[in-house]
Structure formats: C-alpha cells, structure tokens
C-alpha cells in the first residue's frame, strides 16, 4: 500500500511529478483511494455461495492488487484474501484497532507458595563465587541426595552415566558446589532432613515407546462408524442401470419402477387415449438413483418417471413457466419477528410436490417404457397433472399451493407473493414458500397444529 501511494503521489526529486506520470505519461487518479485498514464489505458472487446466504462479509481493507482491478480485502472470520471491484467502505471503523493487547504475564502467585528459606536457598545455590568459577560439568541440583536416583526416569537408568567428581585442584567453594548425580543412594541423617528444604518438583517428560496403533475399542468407543454403516447391513445394493431395459432385469430396480408407476396411476396423472393426428408427443424417461439416509447409509432404490421438457413447444405445450419464490429479505424479517416474540418455527417439506400441480395445457406423452398397455400399444398419455421435467411444473405446483392456502384463510402479501399471512382474532401466522420448502411460524401452538393438519 505504501509503495502504491508513493508511485502515484508527486515527488520533489522529479519536479513534483508522480512516478506513474513519468513512466506512462498520464495523470494518476485518486478517486478510488480509501483509508487503509478500514472496515469494508466486498460483494460475494452468487455462484460461490448458497442462494439464501448473505451477499457480503466483514473484511479489512488491505490495498490494491497489482494484477487485478479492484480492492484487496482480508476476511475477518477466515483470514482469506478477497479481491473484488464492488466494495462498500466504512472508513470510520477499524477492526484491528479494537483488538485488546494482553498485559505481560506476572508470576506473583509463586511468591505465596515459596517460603523465605526456599527462596534464600535458591539464591545461594545460583550465585557463583566471585573468586572462583565452578567447573563446567557441575549440574545444579536443589533437591536432597535421596532424590538423585529417584528423579532419573526408570527407562533411562540402564544407559545413564553419572558425571565424574571434580578434581581436588578445581574443587569449587562450598557456596556454589552441588552434589553430582550418583547411582548409590545416600541416607541422610535426621538433622539433614530437618534442616534441608523440601525439594522442588521436577517434571519429567513422558516418553512414549509404544508406537502401536490404538483401536476404537481400546478407547472405549463401540458406536458404529457412519462411514461403514452400509457394510454392516445385509442390503443388496444394485448398481445404477445404464438403460431402462437393463433395469428390468434387476429385481430391485423392477420393484422400484413398479412402485413409481402404481403411484402415478393412483394419482390419476394421465388418461390413456388414442393419439390424435398432428400433435406434439413428448418422451417419457426413467431416472434411477440410490436414495440415502441422513447418515450416508443406503436406504432404498428410487426410480422416477419424468417428462422430456426439451421436447415441449412454447404456446402449444406450455405457456408461462416463471414460478415465484420467497425473497431472502422476507425470510429474515419473518424469522426476526418470530425470534423477538418467542414463536415456534417449523420447516415443512412437500413430498413429490410437482406431481400435485394440475395442467391447463393439453399435453401428450408416450407410454412409459416397460408399461405399455398390451391392448392399446399405440395409445398415448393425456397428462392431467404435472410431471417432473416439464417446464411449467414449478408454476403449476405454486398455483395449486397458493389456491389451497387461500381457501383456508391465508392471504398473500403485496410485497412478496410467496408470503402468506393468516389472522384470526389476536392470533397470527406467517407461511413462507420456496418451491417445495415451507417455513411456518404462529403465535399459538393450537393454530400451528391445526394448520399443519390442513397442509398434510
């Protein structure tokens, strides 16, 4: 940042011209400059975050990148560098100026634990004789001779070599001389025990010599590992079929297709009619996948019949396809109201939501592969209800849901048509719709139960 400013500011050494103008023969711009270290909010692209997450995050302004046009920002939560052109600056707030500098650690609590005799003993042991220096091999040992052998780790006794005793010519003075470590324990007299201060604790490092791996059972953990839950269940998991024909050869996928077809027939999704001349008939396709539980374990085989929306013709097979969804700001406002009033918040999900939409357009679809009527093999399906894959499927589901909640007393908000409000006396309920996800919050528990029973 300092180098960047010096390059665009006038300098006295070059006749009050800026280095940028001397090099590129153009005047520098100062309109983009901002205060270093201030709080800023860069715009996060919607492609890198979830659609309901915030569009920005608090950062600290660090300057200007050399290879990009924009601003360099440091994210406070993750310490990541974000380079962005669209940034909002708060040049009156400096996040790092508010960081508290810790005071230096004091050790006054040690003074209460050490008696004056111990402190005097430590002082006399550590002060050398000014007239004679101790040998280099002397080791300071404040404890009594009985603790010399006990302080050696048991696993190091066999390889430990005690230092040699000092020679008579280099014997230190009594004030600075200490007893060298020895293998032979010496029993002191009663007077030595009473006059000698208690030894300070010596913390020995824990040496781990066992390098064998530790299993979960040795730690007392007997819960099943979620990664291997599927291995402990005797479930025959069939691989994903490459085409619908091979799926009929597998009993698991054949059962899944039968369940899907029977559910569509029970829902009266289509009527089998003769094929009219000169009409557009879309394809029907099977999609297979493995449905998993929340812990990642295998649950069941899932087969779904979908319509080929790419074969639809605008103004013939479909009209308006735009479907409303609730705005993120509306979600934040409703959640804030619920939290301030201590209301319960419930999240609901509609199963096979698109299959509940009723079609107004006249659409024809080929009979599903493997389920053609033997008596009428050339008939086609006249769709009565929506299918997954159709262009207008989200819109028909939204209209079906909006019409139903309006019939039970809800009214749409004028600001957001995906917000439905219900009022009865002093009680109120808010309902938010995002495709097939629903958020419901009510002022009373009885109202919440009654609304959920109606939505079911």
Asked whether residue 395 is domain-assigned, the answer is yes
d(CA 268, CA 281): 19
User: 300 versus 208: which is more confidently predicted?
Assistant: 300
pLDDT at 115: 52
Asked whether residue 277 is domain-assigned, the answer is yes
Q: Which of 33, 66, 98 is the last residue of a domain?
A: 98
Identify the helix (H) or strand (E) that includes residue 286.
Answer: strand 284-292
pLDDT at 369: 87
Identify the helix (H) or strand (E) that includes residue 60.
Answer: strand 59-63
User: 292 versus 204: which is more confidently predicted?
Assistant: 292
Phi, psi of 111, rounded to the nearest 5 degrees? -70, -30
Asked whether residue 312 is domain-assigned, the answer is yes
Q: CB count, 10 Å around CB of 178?
A: 13
**Whether 308 contacts 284, CB under 8 Å:** yes
Asked whether residue 154 is domain-assigned, the answer is no
Strand, coil or helix: what is 81? strand
Read off the pLDDT of each residue in 183-192 and give the average, rounded to a whole number: 48
Total number of domains in the chain: 2
d(CA 229, CA 237): 13
d(CA 412, CA 418): 7
Asked whether residue 311 is domain-assigned, the answer is yes
For the stretch 370-418, pLDDT in tens is 888 888 888 999 998 888 888 888 888 898 899 999 999 999 999 899 9
Domain holding 381, by residue range, is 244-455
Q: CB count, 10 Å around CB of 356?
A: 17
Asked whether residue 291 is domain-assigned, the answer is yes
User: 159 versus 245: which is more confidently predicted?
Assistant: 245
For the stretch 30-41, pLDDT in tens is 988 999 999 999
CATH code, domain carrying 47: 2.30.30
Asked whether residue 302 is domain-assigned, the answer is yes
Q: Mean pLDDT lowest for which of 113-122, 161-170, 277-286, 377-386? A: 161-170
Q: Mean pLDDT lowest for which of 3-7, 86-90, 391-395? A: 391-395
The number of CA neighbours under 13 Å toward the Cβ of 154 is 2
The answer on pLDDT for 75 being more than 80 is: yes
Q: Which of 66, 98, 130 is the last residue of a domain?
A: 98
Residues with Cβ within 8 Å of residue 222, at least 6 apart in sequence: 216
Read off the pLDDT of each residue in 106-129 and give the average, rounded to a whole number: 55
For the stretch 134-148, pLDDT in tens is 554 444 444 444 444
Phi, psi of 379, rounded to the nearest 5 degrees? -75, 160
Q: Which of 98, 133, 154 is the last residue of a domain?
A: 98
- What letter would DSSP give residue 226? G
| Reported confidence tier of residue 274, pLDDT bands at 50, 70, 90 | very high
* Range list of β-strands (E), 374-413: 380-383, 411-412
**Whether 359 contacts 393, CB under 8 Å:** no
Asked whether residue 408 is domain-assigned, the answer is yes
């Amino acid at each position: 940042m300092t180098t960047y400013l010096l390059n665009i500011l006038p300098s006295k050494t070059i006749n009050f011209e800026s280095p940028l103008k001397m090099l590129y023969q153009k005047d520098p711009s100062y309109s983009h400059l901002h205060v270093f270290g201030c709080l800023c909010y860069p715009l996060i692209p919607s492609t890198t975050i979830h659609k309901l997450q915030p569009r920005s995050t608090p950062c600290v302004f660090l300057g200007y990148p050399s290879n990009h046009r924009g601003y360099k920002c440091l994210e406070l939560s993750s310490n990541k560098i974000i380079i962005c052109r669209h940034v909002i600056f708060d040049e009156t707030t400096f996040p790092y100026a508010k960081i508290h500098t810790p005071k230096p650690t004091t050790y006054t609590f040690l003074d209460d634990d050490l008696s004056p005799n111990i402190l005097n003993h430590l002082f006399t042991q550590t002060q050398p004789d000014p007239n004679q220096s101790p040998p280099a091999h002397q080791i300071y040992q404040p404890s009594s001779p009985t603790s010399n052998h006990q302080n050696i780790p048991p696993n190091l006794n066999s390889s430990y070599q005690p230092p040699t005793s000092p020679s008579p010519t280099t014997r230190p003075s009594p004030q600075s001389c200490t007893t060298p470590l020895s293998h032979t324990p010496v029993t002191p007299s009663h007077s030595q025990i009473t006059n000698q201060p208690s030894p300070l604790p010596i913390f020995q490092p824990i040496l781990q010599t066992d390098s064998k791996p530790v299993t979960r059972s040795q730690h007392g953990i007997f819960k099943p590992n979620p990664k291997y839950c599927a291995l402990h269940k005797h479930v025959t998991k069939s691989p994903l079929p490459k085409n619908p024909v091979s799926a009929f050869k597998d009993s698991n996928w054949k059962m899944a297709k039968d369940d899907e077809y029977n559910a569509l027939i029970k829902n009266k999704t289509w009527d089998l009619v003769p094929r009219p001349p000169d009409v557009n008939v879309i394809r029907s396709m099977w999609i297979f996948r493995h449905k998993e539980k929340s812990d990642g374990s295998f649950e069941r085989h899932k087969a779904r019949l979908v319509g080929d929306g790419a074969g639809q013709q605008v103004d013939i097979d479909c009209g308006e396809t735009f479907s409303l969804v609730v705005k993120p700001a509306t979600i934040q406002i409703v959640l804030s109201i619920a939290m301030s009033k201590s209301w319960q918040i419930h999240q609901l999900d509609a199963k096979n939501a698109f299959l509940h939409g009723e079609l107004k357009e006249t659409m024809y679809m080929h009979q599903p592969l493997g389920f053609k009527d033997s008596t009428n093999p050339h008939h086609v399906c006249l769709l009565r209800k929506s299918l997954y894959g159709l262009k207008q499927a989200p819109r028909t589901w939204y209209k079906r849901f909006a019409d139903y909640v309006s019939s039970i007393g809800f009214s749409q908000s004028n600001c957001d048509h995906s917000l439905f409000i219900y009022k009865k006396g002093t009680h109120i309920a808010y309902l938010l719709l995002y495709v097939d996800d629903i958020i419901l919050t009510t002022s009373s528990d009885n109202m919440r139960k009654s609304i959920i029973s109606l939505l079911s």
